[in-house]
Amino acid sequence: MTTKERVHPAVVGRTVSIVGIGSYLPERILTNADLEKMVNTTDEWIITRTGIKERHIAAPDQASSDLGAEAARRALADAGISPEAVDMIVLGTITPDMGFPNTACFVQAKIGAKNAFCFDIEAACSGFLYGLEIGRQFISTGSMETVLVIAAEKISSILDWEDRNTCVLFGDAAGAVVLQARGAAHGVMASTLGSDGTLAELLMLPGGGSRSPTTEETVRNRLHYMKMAGREVFKHAVTNMTRAAKDALQRSGLGIEDIRWIIPHQANLRIIEAIGERLGVTKEKLVINLERCGNTSAATIVVALDELAREGKLQKHDKILMVAFGGGFTWGASVVEWDK
């Protein structure tokens, strides 16, 4: 563990469980065949290098808050909880509706969670796990009773559709969970969060912030699109996700043999396979929806978790290991006992 990392063992206080979950994928599907008509690429090139076959793309009039609001409604319905009962909304995104107000406030208005206070976190692909740990801390101390954690991304809005190295990788999606204390249940057992800002230039959106405000020149130079050094990101992703997964397992007191499902960030099939190999698990334990969804940044893990639940593959007391890596760099891992 580096000095940039913080491990969060089981909190002395109330245990915190996922009591509701939901996700939303936009209707439009963009296939590799469609991309062949848009940019210099082929279906074979994309599948061989990434494992992605298609991805969902939000409509022009849909913002991240629209995706997040729909996922939130589904999570609340799953939990049987009214929007008015939500005390706090924390939303992970790198594609906010606008610079401010925060996107969580837009979601609050859309779902009618009038009693919640709201804020966004920007941890890129690790955003859901960061939000999960933030929500857990508020509930475990008794400050909050019901927390809504959302990950919502319209990544298509920041892609350079002339850059085949990035535009083929990503899709749009949102997912949400409702957190509450639940007696003696284990719930979120342990987590590890980490960051390394010295590597920020390897994955970033350079234009539009206070460092590089929007001008004709920044638009002309295409600085308002995602930039990524793919090979370097791959290397750091495998290293840090593997380490985070092992740290979280250690803090939970479990071994990899105790884990029923591993949900890795859905960035690239090669990354997922490399992590599985380093953890010593078979592919059957790895939850993968990458081929249908692409990389949806902060939403990948919670969307995959929701699909697993809806397919009836989660049993009470199943142990789940979730691990992510994203721009910042940020990374994290959480061990959760499913007790719905």
Pairwise CA distance, residues 90 & 322, whole Å:
18
Pairwise CA distance, residues 151 & 127, whole Å:
7
Q: Counting every residue, how long is the chain?
A: 340
β-sheet bridge partners, residue 30: 55
Contact 139, 145 (CB under 8 A): yes
Which entry of 32, 102, 268, 295 is annotated as an active-site residue?
A: 295
Looking from the CA of 224 toward its CB, the CA atoms found within 13 Å total: 14
Catalytic residue check, 265: yes
Pairwise CA distance, residues 230 & 268, whole Å:
10
At residue 256, what is the residue type? Answer: I
Catalytic residue check, 40: no
Pairwise CA distance, residues 324 & 302, whole Å:
11
Alpha helix positions (H), 58-163: 64-79, 103-111, 127-140
Contact 169, 52 (CB under 8 A): yes
CA-based radius of gyration for the chain? 19
Residue whose C-alpha is closest to residue 190's, from 12, 325, 327, 2: 12
Which entry of 125, 167, 186, 240 is annotated as an active-site residue?
A: 125
- SS3 assignment, position 191: strand
CB-based contacts of 69: which residues, under 8 Å, 6+ apart?
Answer: 106, 107, 110, 111
Contact 52, 29 (CB under 8 A): no
Q: Which two tokens stand for residue 193?
A: 């969060």
Which entry of 167, 265, 268, 293 is annotated as an active-site residue?
A: 265
Q: Show which residues are catalytic.
A: 125, 265, 295
